[in-house]
Amino acid sequence: MFIKITRSGPRQYLQLVEAYRDTAGKAKHRTLATLGRLDQIADHLDSVIAGLLKASGRDPDLLSAAEPVIEFESARALGDVWALQELWQTLGFGELRRIFKKTRHTTDVEALLRVMVFNRLCDPESKLGVLRWLETVTLPGVDTQAVTHQQLLRSMDALIDHQAAVDAVVAGLLRPLIDQNLSAVFYDMTTIRPRRGAVHSRRRYPQVRDGQRGIDRPPVHAGRRANE
């Protein structure tokens, strides 16, 4: 059943209508009651509704209840960090956890390093920016609300303190991906110009990528390769 407003000339009437199907299955409406002219009963609608609520066993005070406050929150991102999480585990970088288990650190250093790596790939930020980024994502296996700025800094200290062990693990994981017969190699190169106090060479170098000429220090080329 539902309420329907019908017109008859300039007047409007309020009717209680029921929807049903006839023997042929066709949807139809039939009027159960005419409640009156809308302009005449408008002031009494609240009491009518309250009476209907009471008859149905509901609280009539619902009519005077304050409207609920509705707040909308943005959805947290999951797809990119989920894909990175699967890639991290597939490549075996979870092995870094056993290095830091032997240390005095009480926090999960491997998880926090994973957080910073994922942030660098998804939305590069500073350490404080990482905390803001964590408010927008759902990271599997990490309590994002419990991560602090101090924990991120201590994780970086732990990485530096155990750099040799970390390098050995990473090299062991990545070497099988590189030391193989390749049908094609894609090599990406960039130029790095380190600063130093003394100039040990008088040679002049040609124009480099940023357009500067006459550099008195040799550029360093860093590259990477990937299989086909």
Domain ranges of the chain: 2-63, 79-176, 182-227
At 29 the three-state DSSP class reads: strand
Indicate the DSSP class of residue 92: T
Predicted confidence at residue 84, as pLDDT, reads: 92
Which of the two residues, 47 and 197, has the higher pLDDT score?
A: 47
Cβ neighbourhood burial of 126 (10 Å; 0-12, 13-18, 19+): exposed
> Does residue 116 surpass a pLDDT of 90?
yes
Distance, CA of 181 to CA of 186 (rounded, Å): 14
Indicate the pLDDT class of residue 114, thresholds 50, 70 and 90.
Answer: very high
> Does residue 90 surpass a pLDDT of 50?
yes
What φ, ψ does residue 183 adopt, rounded to 5°?
-85, -25
Predicted confidence at residue 200, as pLDDT, reads: 47
* Among the ranges given (73-77, 170-174, 182-186), the one the predictor scored with the smallest mean pLDDT: 182-186
Distance, CA of 204 to CA of 10 (rounded, Å): 95
Indicate the pLDDT class of residue 219, thresholds 50, 70 and 90.
Answer: low
Minimal CA–CA distance to 114: which of 93, 83, 133, 135?
A: 93
> Does residue 214 surpass a pLDDT of 70?
no
What average pLDDT is seen over the chain? 78
Share of the chain residues as helix, strand and coil, in percent rounded to the nearest 5? 45, 20, 35
Cα three-residue angle 177-178-180, rounded to 5 degrees: 90
